[in-house]
Amino acid sequence: MVDVLKAGGQIVPTGNGRLLRLVDQAGADIPAWQKAISSAASKHKPAALKVAEVLEWIDTARDDIMRGDLLDAMDSLEMARTRIKALRDSRFAGTADNGGRG
Provide the pLDDT for residue 9.
82
**Where do runs of H (alpha helix) occur along the chain?**
2-6, 33-43, 45-67, 70-93
Burial letters 77-102, b for 16+ CB under 10 A, else e: bebbeebbeebeebeeeeeebbeeee
Provide the pLDDT for residue 71.
92
Half-sphere exposure in the Cβ direction for 13 (13 Å, CA)? 10
Model's pTM, two decimal places?
0.45
Region at 32 (left for phi over 0; alpha for psi -120 to 50; beta for the rest): left
Mean pLDDT split into 10-residue runs, the chain, 102 residues: 78 75 86 70 65 85 90 91 83 52 42
